[in-house]
Amino acid sequence: QKEVEQDPGPLSVPEGAIVSLNCTYSNSAFQYFMWYRQYSRKGPELLMYTYSSGNKEDGRFTAQVDKSSKYISLFIRDSQPSDSATYLCAMHSSASKIIFGSGTRLSIRP
């Protein structure tokens, strides 16, 4: 079993829709959770960084962590064509290296 599982997509939604991106993980020691956005031909860019369980909101983006289910989500409200990218989840504990998901390719149709 992979430490971090992420559906590769592609996921295609119409402009304005709410997008839900998810990752599951197996290591209950993970405490730090991140979402990165990667545009084509660019490096990953940190979008959201959360510690432990709960929600964190930043503009149109909400990151949610459910440690009991070992499940994290990124919600994008009022999605825009400029949100089209690959989204990577990442996580680690204080004692471990960062583990990345394989990424979900998202396309927002105008």
Partner 1 sequence: ETGVTQTPRHLVMGMTNKKSLKCEQHLGHNAMYWYKQSAKKPLELMFVYSLEERVENNSVPSRFSPECPNSSHLFLHLHTLQPEDSALYLCASSPSGNEQFFGPGTRLTVL
Residue list 43-62, contact with partner 1 (CB under 8 A): 43-46, 49
91 binds partner 1 (CB under 8 A): no
Which CB sits closer to partner 1, 75 or 100? 100
The minimum distance between CB 97 and partner 1, in angstroms, equals: 6
8 binds partner 1 (CB under 8 A): yes
Burial tier of 58 (Cβ tally within 10 Å: 0-12, 13-18, 19+): exposed
The minimum distance between CB 95 and partner 1, in angstroms, equals: 11
Which CB sits closer to partner 1, 22 or 102? 102
Q: How far is CA 34 from CA 10, 17, 63, in A?
A: 20, 23, 9
- Site of interaction with partner 1 (CB under 8 A): 2, 4, 8, 32, 34, 36, 41-46, 49, 88, 92, 97-103
